Amino acid sequence: MNRLVIFDLDGTLLNTIADLAAGVNHTLDTLGLPQHTIGEYTLMVGNGMRKLVMRALPENLAADDAFVDSTLAQFLDYYAAHIDVYTKPYPGIPELINALSTEGYKLAVASNKIQEGAEKLISKFFPGIPFVAVMGNSPLYPLKPDAALVEYIMQKAGTDRTNTIMVGDSGTDIQTARNAGIPVIAVSWGFRPRHELTSADHIADTTDQLHHLITQ
Going 41 to 42 to 44 to 46, the CA torsion angle's sign is: positive
**Separation between Cα atoms, residue 2 and residue 105, nearest integer Å:** 7
**Separation between Cα atoms, residue 134 and residue 123, nearest integer Å:** 10
Query: 186 and 204 in contact (C-beta within 8 Å)?
Result: yes
**For residue 85, how far is the Cα from the chain centroid?**
17
Annotation marks residue 77 as catalytic: no
Which 3 state secondary structure label does DSSP give 102?
helix
Cβ-based neighbours of 12, under 8 Å, separated by 6 or more: 90, 167, 168, 169, 173, 187, 190
Cβ-based neighbours of 102, under 8 Å, separated by 6 or more: none
Catalytic residue positions, numbered: 8
